[in-house]
Amino acid sequence: MTYTQSYSQTKQPKPNVLLWIARILVGLLFIFSGLIKANDPMGFGYKLQEYFHVLNLGFLNDFATWIAIFLCALEIILGGLLILGIAGKKVAWGLLLLIIFFTFLTFYSAFFEVVKSCGCFGDAIPLTPWQSFFKDLILLLLIVYIFLKRDQIKPFIRSLFTRNLLAALIILGSFGIGIYTYYFLPFKDFLPYKEGNNIPELMKAPEGAEPDVFEHIYELKNKTTNETKKVTDKEYMGDKLWEDENWEVVGDPQTRLIKKGYEVKIPDLIITDMDGTDRTEEVIQNPYYNFIIVSTDLKKMSPFDLAALDRINSTIRDLSEDYNIRAILATASSSDEVNYLNDQMDLVLETFYVDAVPLKSMVRANPGVMLMLNGTVVKKWSQYNFPSKHELITKYLDKVE
């Protein structure tokens, strides 16, 4: 055997550059998408509940957050293993099935206009359903190519032990991130109630901001000829058609948004007391430290959550003896549920009622705590990391000038 023959037999095949590009693009996007949503699994769970409602799968609502944690972890795991080339055939199958499911979901929500935002990148990068669908369509093409070339996906790490160790770390880390943020709040808060934001300022539009511009379309019918036509409100008023007795308006006018104006960051916060009196301004502009304990649904609190709420209540009771603070319970639950809880715990908290939508954005926990001062969010905690009395005094209460 000559040297040339020996070399040709041992020479490695050239790498498929296009496959490598597809693997890196898909892998990084899946990892990024999974991490963004794993940062806020409860928020992704709320989005899943919207899809469950549309698909008549309401029985899954109570498991939405844990399903969200699983899906986020799956995205990160598939993306990481794809780049490393570990379990290439299984990963290709997983990616294909997952992207087909996501593409169907985003098309369904876009075509039937049932979900306004897909939640693909959480609240960090809001996408419309159509934007998400076209994004999934591009991913589908890349993943189909990866699937067809799955036999060429080889791990570039030779050591089996190292590959298994990396795979185990990716799996543990992927689930660990979602579980940690579920119990201890997101690492990065993208919501309008994040720490440092001034709530009253975000509830109003800045001076000079342009509002939404709408166009109203009237359908007119000629009483003499029975001719019908559609005109805009500008044409209707400009041509003084309202003065022409031969034309009458048929039905209700249609309204169409023609120019998006400034969108107020917090448009829906209304805080009322048990008598229905609006107390929003009084609460959010309190010049002293204001502990807002948030519980969207009191019935869904576990025994551990109730014990944590009792501890929070006791800590605030002790603080109120020496410091000028205010503490309220903001909930969407009924008065009967609040009264029952008060009987069990002797709540020191004032009870106020808030719609579930803003409550879910305030703190991703049930219950959670938001500390405010002069309308600004100072700090947020879940029920699992609410600090001790001593820590609250040294870090916050004793630092007020």
**Opening angle at CA 159, ends 154 and 160, nearest 5:** 80
pLDDT tens, per residue, the chain with 401 residues: 454 454 444 556 677 899 999 999 999 999 999 999 999 999 999 989 988 888 889 999 999 999 999 999 999 999 999 999 999 999 999 999 999 988 988 888 887 777 776 667 667 677 888 888 899 999 999 999 999 999 999 998 989 999 999 999 999 999 999 999 999 999 999 999 999 999 999 998 888 778 778 888 888 888 888 888 888 888 877 777 767 778 888 888 888 878 777 888 999 999 999 889 999 999 999 999 999 999 999 999 999 999 999 999 999 999 999 999 999 999 999 989 998 898 888 899 999 999 999 999 999 999 999 999 999 999 999 999 999 999 999 999 987 65
Name residue 329's beta-bridge partners: 293, 351
Q: pTM value?
A: 0.84
Please give the distance of CA 358 from its chain centroid, rounded to a whole number.
12
Token pair 């029952």 in the structure block, residue: 340
Which of 94, 223, 232, 118 is CA-nearest to residue 171?
94
Q: Do residues 31 and 79 lie in contact, with contact meaning Cβ atoms separated by under 8 Å?
A: yes
**Can you say whether residue 374 is alpha, beta or left, with left for phi > 0 and alpha for psi between -120 and 50 degrees?**
left
* Element holding 48 (H helix, E strand): helix 41-54
Sequence-ordered strand ranges (E) for 271-344: 290-295, 326-331
Enumerate the H helices of 112-207 as residue ranges: 129-148, 160-184, 199-202
Task: Show the tokens assigned to 282.
Answer: 């009084």
Which of 132, 65, 143, 69 is CA-nearest to residue 105?
132
Please give the distance of CA 323 from its chain centroid, rounded to a whole number.
36
